[in-house]
Amino acid sequence: MRSHAKKYGDAYVLSVVQGIHHDSGNPDLTEIDTKEIKQLYKEILGEPDLAKVEVSTLLDLLQPDSLLERFAAKKANGVCQTKDFVNLKSGIKG
């Protein structure tokens, strides 16, 4: 699901799950992709009717779970372009 969200965007994936997407909105998304996205949500939530699920719950599934996963997602998306650690000069006594 997250790979689809990265490729097509969170809002578009949520619209697919809710059944309100338009084929003209993203021509790269195939019918197989839409079925796969819906099936993944159904399996994870254990809910056969996704219309009953709140949008906040659907959106939560697209978010990284752990702190390490968040860092990996930021790095993969290029959000964090700064250095992780500061280099200290050796030989300096404090």
Give the domain extent around 11.
2-77
Q: Is residue 46 part of a domain?
A: yes
With respect to residue 93, please indicate whether it lies within any of the assigned structural domains. Answer: no
Residue 91: inside a domain: no
**What is the model's pLDDT at position 30?**
78
Question: Each residue of 13-66: pLDDT tens digit?
Answer: 888 888 886 555 566 677 888 888 889 889 988 988 888 888 888 888 887 777
How many separate domains does the chain show? 1
Residue 37 domain-assigned (yes or no): yes
70 or 46: which carries more pLDDT confidence? 46
Residue 86 lies in a domain: no
pLDDT at 3 over 60: yes
Q: Give the Å distances, CA to CA, from 13 to 63, 65, 67, 80, 89.
A: 13, 18, 23, 24, 48
- Cα-Cα-Cα-Cα dihedral sign, residues 54, 8, 73, 38: positive
| Inside any domain, residue 43 | yes
Residue 23 confidence (pLDDT): 56
